[in-house]
Structure 1
Amino acid sequence: MSEAALEALSDMITEAHTRIQQAYEHINPVVGVRRGMRDVGIPADAMTIDCLQTRGRILLILHDEQPGVLLYQFGTMDAEAGDDFQPMNLSEVSADTLFTWMKDYFSA
C-alpha cells in the first residue's frame, strides 16, 4: 500500500481520535500502527484502535494486493484477529466514519 494511503488514514484517525476524546472522555482510545506484517512477508500495514476500558479493538488493514480498499474488523484486545474482515473503499472512509465506529463500538 502506498505511503500516501497510510498517511491519509493516519490523518483521519488522528482527527477522529481528537474528537472522540473531546466528546467521550471515558473512551480514550489508543491508536497503534503495526508494520510487522511486512516483516513476515505479508504486504500490508495494520492499524489498531484499542479501548482499554472495554478491551475492544478496531483493526484496520491496508493490503498492497487490494489498493484503495480498507479491510476492517471489530474484535477484542484479548483475541486474535479472525478472517472475517469487511472491505470498504478507502475513498468512502472519513474521520466521521472512524469517529462513529469508535463511539458506537467502544460505548456498547
Structure 2
Amino acid sequence: MSEEDPLKALSDMASEAHARIQAAHEHINPVVGVRRGMRDVGIPADAMTVDCLRTRRRIMLILHDEQPGVLLYQFVTLDDEVGNEFREVSLSDVSVQTLFDWMEEYFGGPGLH
C-alpha cells in the first residue's frame, strides 16, 4: 500500500465528518476549507479550516512538513482567525470520529441548538 498524501487523507476524513455532522445536527453547517497560503509565504505547511458561521467558531488544522505524522490543531473564533497555542496529536490517532466529535463539541455546545 502506498503512503497516502496526509492532506488528502485529512480532507477525506473532514468531508465524511462534515456529512455526518450535518445528518446528526441540522443547526451545525460547517464550512471546510484548505488553505495553501502558508506555502505562498515560505512556511512548509498546509492548513485546513473548519468554520461554523452560526457560532463564529473555527477549528484550525495544520500539517507541517517538519513534523510528519503530526496534526497541529486549535479551537479559535473566526474573529481571532488563529491563536498562538497549537495542540498536537498523532495523525494516525485522528479519525472521522475525532473530527466529528470536535465539530459536535465545539460548534454544537450547550445553548446552540
The size of the alignment, in residue pairs, is: 107
Aligned partner letter, 2:95: S
Report the equivalent of 1:52. 53
Structure 1 pair 50/80, CA: closer, same or farther in 2 (3 Å)?
A: closer
Who is 1:17 aligned against?
A: 18
Q: CA RMSD in A?
A: 1.2
**Unpaired runs of at least 5, structure 2:** none
Match of 2:85, SS?
A: coil
Q: Equivalent residue for 1:73? A: 74
Q: Does 2:11 match 1:42?
A: no
Question: What is the percentage of aligned positions where both structures have the same residue?
Answer: 71
Is 1:98 aligned to 2:88, yes or no? no
Matched AA of 2:49: T
Work out the CA distance in 2 between the residues paired with 1:40 and 1:70. 20
Q: Which whole-Å CA distance do the structure 1 matches of 2:105 and 2:73 have between them? A: 15
The two structures have a TM-score, normalised by structure 1, of: 0.96
d(CA) in 1 for partners of 2:36, 2:91: 19
> For residues 37 and 43 of structure 1, what CA distance do their matches in structure 2 show?
7
Q: Name the CA distance, whole Å, in 2 between partners of 1:81 and 1:3.
A: 27
Aligned-partner SS, 1:62: strand
By percentage of residues, which structure has more helix? 1
Aligned counterparts of 1:61 and 1:103: Cα–Cα separation in 2: 20
Return the offset for 1:97.
Answer: 0.1
Instruction: Specify the SS of the correspondent of 1:42.
Output: coil
Q: Kindly report structure 1 stretches of 4+ aligned residues shifted beyond 2 Å.
A: none
> Counterpart of 1:81 in 2: which secondary structure?
coil
Amino acid at match of 1:46: A
CA distance in 2, matches of 1:38, 1:3: 20
